[in-house]
Structure 1
Amino acid sequence: MTTWNTTTALVTGANRGIGRHFATELLARGATVYAAARRPETIDLPGVTPVALDITDPASVAAAAALASDVDLLVNNAGISAGGTLLGDLDAVRTDMDVNFWGTLSMVRAFAPVLAANGGGTVVNVASALSWFAFPGAGAYAVSKAANWNMSNALRFELAGQGTNVVSVHLGAADTEMARGLEGPKTDPADVAQRTLDAVAAGAFEVVVDDWSEMVKASLAKDPREFYERFLKA
């Protein structure tokens, strides 16, 4: 069971959206928080320690791990959706992979020794319902989040020996800037943070935040035609 007032967390992408809510909720629970962003001057949460961090820059990641050497909870929230399709702009595909997969993996590799030194702790990787399906116009993002999800599964094995748990978080659209142009229901990002931290405290492996994500995950056991025909006919 997590004792929040002895927890020290680092949250990436903490200047806005879900990351800001993670930092806010952690503070409310009594944790010490490093709030990381490429532009730390945009972090306006009293009580956090701002950290300059670009997760795609190895030197920046190494500097953050050296600075935040007391961390026992790493929340890999930073992500991007460059709007790439697999047969479209290859730079956009690479951007999604560089941030959502390679950048997240770089953070885990840098902080794994830190977590080990501090008793094991937990890694949280914010993935997506799009880890489990593809949607027209969002192919690159879906592939990058699928890689993120199975990275969490693989890391769970590799980090088990040092006592580090890995939690993968899946949701549909959240009411954030990234989803501003999307229609339909959107999850309150505060709920994402609260449900995820409750799962961390319970030692869970995975958080399925909303009904849409539960439906998508359940569809994996069925014939994919049933799921995808709704999009192909649109």
Structure 2
Amino acid sequence: MDRAPGLNPNVPSSARIYDYMLGGKDNYDVDREVAHRMLAVAPDTRTLAWFIRKFLVMAVRRAAEAGIRQFIDLGAGIPTSPNVHEVARKVDPSATVVYIDNDPVVRAHCDALLANAPGLSAMEADIRRPHEIIDQLKAESLIDFSEPVAVLLVGVLHYVMDDEKPYDIVAAFRDAMAPGSQLIFTHTSDETNSEFKSRSHEDTNKSPSQVIYRRPDQIVAFLDGFEALSPGVVPAQQWLEGDLPKTQMVMYGGIGRK
């Protein structure tokens, strides 16, 4: 989910940097250069990328097992298997998934992946205009908001600056959700290694990949109006099985139920 999306090999893209961290091939030199500078400061950043991916898979599976059959993946990024629909449909083959991103390159990847599969859709839209997204989802009968839905904001909200009203984005979807719905999200913490934060600011300032590191209490506030599921809003690896190590970049994960 980029601020100024598009196919630009001269400007780093959050989607393409993440793709590189996960071992993908849909990235450019500029993305790899930023990733390498991050890895030079915090080599475990690639490990964290996999923790976040595992968090997403775990959260989608849990939501599907709880009976949710509709999923909205906001800021979906370049598809990485297992994708949301692969996880959800392993529980229930009838699950509906809408992938949303404002980057036309991501949209093209999603269109190619889905190939007119029933119940799976891709939408090019900006999460900073949540009411427009919700209206379009309703108008095109892609999501039935009278039934529970899982809304994913994984690796997205820290790219939304304060003046772009990130809490209003979450509130718009929360208010549209039926009871039993879930919000699944991650967010970078200001507890991240200070050198890493400085490096990322230098590399991404005024670019589509500019990041804001929020305090833990600010991250928890995204679940206002939701019931936080256990273990709460905590570093993402605490949601996963095993005694996983801390990382220099700190990323919180949380799941809220309406």
Q: TM-score, normalised by structure 1?
A: 0.51
Distance of 2:77 and 2:89 partners within structure 1: 14
Code of the residue aligned with 2:109 in structure 1: it is T
Bigger helix share: 1
What is the correspondence of 1:1-234 to structure 2 with a 5 Å cutoff?
A: 2=63, 3=65, 6-16=68-78, 21-30=83-92, 31-38=95-102, 39=104, 40-43=107-110, 44-45=113-114, 46=117, 47-58=119-130, 60-64=132-136, 66=138, 68=143, 69=145, 70-77=147-154, 79=156, 96-98=159-161, 102=164, 104-115=166-177, 118-128=178-188, 130-133=189-192, 134=194, 135=196, 136-139=198-201, 144-146=212-214, 150-156=217-223, 158-159=224-225, 164-166=226-228, 203-206=230-233, 208-209=236-237, 211-213=245-247
Question: What are structure 1's unaligned runs of at least 5 residues?
Answer: 82-95, 167-201, 218-234
RMSD across aligned positions (CA): 3.9
Distance of 1:34 and 1:27 partners within structure 2: 13
Distance of 2:155 and 2:250 partners within structure 1: 23
Q: Is the 8 A contact 1:13 1:19 kept in 2?
A: no
Distance of 1:80 and 1:6 partners within structure 2: 23
- Equivalent residue of 1:123, what SS? strand
Code of the residue aligned with 1:110 in structure 2: it is A
Residues matched between the structures, number = 158
- Cα distance, 1:10 vs. partner? 0.6
Distance of 1:19 and 1:112 partners within structure 2: 28
Deviations 1:140-161 (A, max 9, x none): 67962425x54441233x31xx
Distance of 1:78 and 1:101 partners within structure 2: 19
Q: Is the 8 A contact 2:72 2:100 kept in 1?
A: yes
Deviations 1:43-92 (A, max 9, x none): 123452222321123553343564532452110125398xxxxxxxxxxx
- Equivalent residue of 1:74, what SS? strand
- Cα distance, 1:19 vs. partner? 9.5
Q: TM-score, normalised by structure 2?
A: 0.47
Q: Which runs of 4+ in 1 moved over 6 A?
A: 140-143
Distance of 2:81 and 2:136 partners within structure 1: 17
CA gap of 1:80–1:165, structure 2 versus 1, over 3 A, is closer
CA gap of 1:74–1:142, structure 2 versus 1, over 3 A, is same
Distance of 1:24 and 1:104 partners within structure 2: 28
Distance of 2:248 and 2:155 partners within structure 1: 23
- Aligned-pair identity in percent equals 12
CA gap of 1:48–1:138, structure 2 versus 1, over 3 A, is same
Distance of 1:72 and 1:22 partners within structure 2: 13
